[in-house]
Structure 1
Amino acid sequence: MLKQTVWRRNGGRHTIQCNDIQGLLRALFDAPDVPDVVKDAKQSPYFLAQGIGEFLSSRFSGDEETLDFTHGMLTGTAIAELQVELRRLRQRVGALHADSVAAPLRGKRGVGVLLALREWEPESFTARRRA
C-alpha cells in the first residue's frame, strides 16, 4: 500500500492511499481537487523516480540557489537530534508554503529543498580506516 500526504489549497491535510504507483499518481493529479503541493516527498513515487534526478542535475549557481553538504561522525543521540531539526525545517517549509498560498501566482516561484540523512562515509575513508 502506497501512502501520500498532501496539503490542499484550504490548508487542510489529506492522505491518499493506493495499491500501486499508477493509482497513486492518478489520485494525485486526476482528482477533481488537485493538491497544490506534495507535502511529504519521501513517499512520492514521482519525486523518487524522476524528480530527484532532475532536481540534482542543476549546477546550483543561481543567486538564490545553494548546495551544501557536510559530513560528521555522530552518536546515536546526535543523529536523533539532527532528525528532529530536519523535521522542523520540513515543517517550516510547509508553513511558508501555506503562508504563500493566497499570494498571486506571478509573485511566487517553485522551490525545492532536499533534506537527506543516512549513515554513510566515502569509500576512501572506509578503506583507510580498515588499513
Structure 2
Amino acid sequence: MRQAISLVDSLKREMKARGITYAELAARIGMSEASVKRMFSQKNFTLQRLDEILQATGIDFRDVAMSAQDESRLISELSHAQEKEIIGDTRLFAVAVSVLNQLTVEQIVQTYTLNEAEVVRHLVRLDRIGFLELLPNNRVKLLVSRTFRWIPNGPIQTFFRHQAYSDFLASQFDGDNEALRLVNVMLSKRSIAALLDRMNQLARDFAQQHQEDARLPYEERFSLSFLLAARPWMPTLFQDLLRPPAPRVKSVRQR
C-alpha cells in the first residue's frame, strides 16, 4: 500500500509540474471534478483508470515510477542520536525546522538573530548528521521524505510534550487561522481503525500542501502548527464516578 501511495503522490507532482488541474483532468477522462478529487484523496485507482490518466495527461509511467523511487530513498525518520543532537542546540533546531519549511539562508537570517556564517555552520552540522546535503552557494537539498516525522516519543516529540504543548494550547483558538475541535465518541474497533487511517492521510495531505506552497514567495507563507491526536480517554472527574467492575462469578462444575 505504501508503494501505491508513493505512485499516486508522484503522479500528482507530475501533473502539478505540467499545470494540469483536477478540473482539466476530469474533462479529459469524462469524470466530474469532485470524483477526480476523491479518487486522488483516497488514492484508489484501478490499473485501467491509471492508464487513462497517463494517456490523458501525456505523462510517462516511467517518470512517475522514477519520482516515486527517488522519494523512497529519502528517510522518513531520523535516528534517536540524530534527533538528540538537533534538539540539544536551540539554534541548530531552529535552522533544521526552517529548512524543513523551505527557507533559504537569507530568509533564516531575516527571521532569526543569526548571521549568515552561523546559519551556514549549522547547515554543515545538519549535513554531517544526514538531515540534508549542503550544495554550492549555500543551497540545500533535504534528505528527508515528504512523509518525514519526528520519532514517536523520541527526543524532539518529548521536548514538545514537556515544554511546547502547554504553550501551543495556551490559546482560545478563536483568532484568524485558528481552530480547535474536541469530539468524544464511542466507536467500534473497525471505525477507530478507519478514523486513524483518515488522520494519517490528512497529515500526508498537509505535508503535500506544504510542498506545493513552498513555491510561493516567502512573504505569502505563514507558520502553522497542526496537531492531530486520538486515544481512548476519559476525564479523571468522570473516571472517579465509574462503578467498580462486578466481581466475576466462578462457575461450579458438577461431578
What interval of TM-score do these two structures reach, taking the shorter chain for normalisation?
0.7 to 0.9
> Which of 150, 165, 168 is 1:52 aligned to?
165
Query: Cα offset for 1:90?
Result: 0.3
Count of paired positions: 121
The question of 1:23 aligning with 2:85 is answered yes
- 2:207 aligns with 94
Query: Cα offset for 1:19?
Result: 2.8
Provide the C-alpha distance between the structure 2 equivalents of 1:60 and 1:79, rounded to a whole number of angstroms. Answer: 26
RMSD of the alignment, in Å?
3.1
Which protein has greater RCO, CA pairs closer than 8 Å, 6+ apart? 1
Distance 1:62 1:19, change over 3 A: same
Provide the C-alpha distance between the structure 1 equivalents of 2:187 and 2:194, rounded to a whole number of angstroms. Answer: 10
Comparing both structures, which one devotes a greater share of its residues to strand? Answer: 1
Contact 2:173 / 2:180 at 8 angstroms: preserved in 1? yes
Provide the C-alpha distance between the structure 1 equivalents of 2:188 and 2:240, rounded to a whole number of angstroms. Answer: 21
The question of 1:121 aligning with 2:121 is answered no
The question of 1:66 aligning with 2:179 is answered yes
> Which of 36, 40, 46 is 2:149 aligned to?
40
Comparing both structures, which one devotes a greater share of its residues to helix? Answer: 2
| TM-score, scaled relative to structure 2 | 0.40
Provide the C-alpha distance between the structure 1 equivalents of 2:177 and 2:83, rounded to a whole number of angstroms. Answer: 33
| TM-score, scaled relative to structure 1 | 0.72
Secondary structure of the 2:78 match is: strand
Distance 1:18 1:121, change over 3 A: closer
Structure 1 segments, 4+ long, off by >4 Å, are 32-39
Query: Cα offset for 1:38?
Result: 9.4
Paired residue type of 1:22: K
Paired residue type of 1:18: H
- 2:32 aligns with none
Query: Cα offset for 1:20?
Result: 7.2
Structure with greater Cα Rg: 2
Distance 1:50 1:126, change over 3 A: closer
Contact 1:60 / 1:67 at 8 angstroms: preserved in 2? yes
Distance 1:77 1:59, change over 3 A: same
Distance 1:20 1:105, change over 3 A: closer
Secondary structure of the 1:16 match is: coil
Query: Cα offset for 1:120?
Result: 0.7
Contact 2:199 / 2:228 at 8 angstroms: preserved in 1? yes
Query: Cα offset for 1:121?
Result: 1.5
